[in-house]
Amino acid sequence: MVYHSSFINLEGIQYACGCPLLPLKSHIRGPAPAADPDKIDIIDEAMTFFRANIFFRKFDVKSSADKLLVYLTLYINMTLKRVENCKTEAEGTKAVITLGLEEFPIPGEPGFSLGGLFTAPSSQEEGDLLRSYLKQLREETSGRLMERAYLPNGKQNKWWIAFSKRKFLNLNFI
């Protein structure tokens, strides 16, 4: 049984390319609205469900927030693959920063692996809004993942790094 997002009632949420711009508990600047620090956000949910959802080859999208959950699960998997060979937290941080500086495709561009979930942008502004939201989402996810992927002594947490070998939905992410 796949774990789905609990963000079902999305009244007053802005959308870009069929993707909800959900609030985030983030110190990183971007278009995401600020979330209540005492409640979970979509990144917390993706981190919590990651190790269970990674085993599934099918994911039935039941809400628009599930689209973000799929995107984040694939991004977490890609990030773990990048830090898999980085034995110390300093090396891992460097790899994640490099990953954050890379250009990534959005819906409608070649190389975007989730074209069936998201629609192509109808305008340049919508595309720019989605790109900046996903960039903020990726940066915040990377920071939170580094806290879990490495132990306080700076060594890898094998209970997270082991999942770098798995494939979610049989996809290689962007």
Residue 170 has pLDDT above 70, yes or no: no
Least confident of 57-66, 73-82, 125-134, 161-170: 161-170
Summarised one tens digit per residue, pLDDT across range 20-55 is 999 999 989 999 999 999 999 999 999 999 999 988
pTM of the entire structure?
Answer: 0.93
**Contact status, residue 22 vs residue 65, Cβ threshold 8 Å:** yes
d(CA 13, CA 116): 21
DSSP the chain: -----S----TT--EETTEE---B--SS-SSSPBPPTTS--HHHHHHHHHHHHTT-S-----SHHHHHHHHHHHHHHHHHHHHTT--BHHHHHHHHHHHHHS----TTSTT-TTTTTSPPPSSHHHHHHHHHHHHHHHHHHHHHHHHHHB-TTSBB-HHHHGGGG--STT----
Q: Where are the domains of the chain?
A: 15-165
Q: Which of 115, 168, 146 is nearest to 43 (CA)?
A: 146
Which is more confident, 100 or 161?
161
**Contact status, residue 141 vs residue 82, Cβ threshold 8 Å:** no
Per this entry, what is the length of the chain? 174
Residue 172 has pLDDT above 80, yes or no: no
Residue 169 has pLDDT above 90, yes or no: no
Homologous superfamily assigned to 15-165: Actin-related protein 2/3 complex subunit 3 (1.10.1760.10)
Side-chain-side CA neighbours of 98 within 13 Å: the count stands at 10
Paired tokens of 46: 């993706």
Summarised one tens digit per residue, pLDDT across range 106-165 is 998 988 888 888 999 999 999 999 999 999 999 999 999 999 999 999 899 999 999 888
DSSP 95-137: HHHHHHHS----TTSTT-TTTTTSPPPSSHHHHHHHHHHHHHH
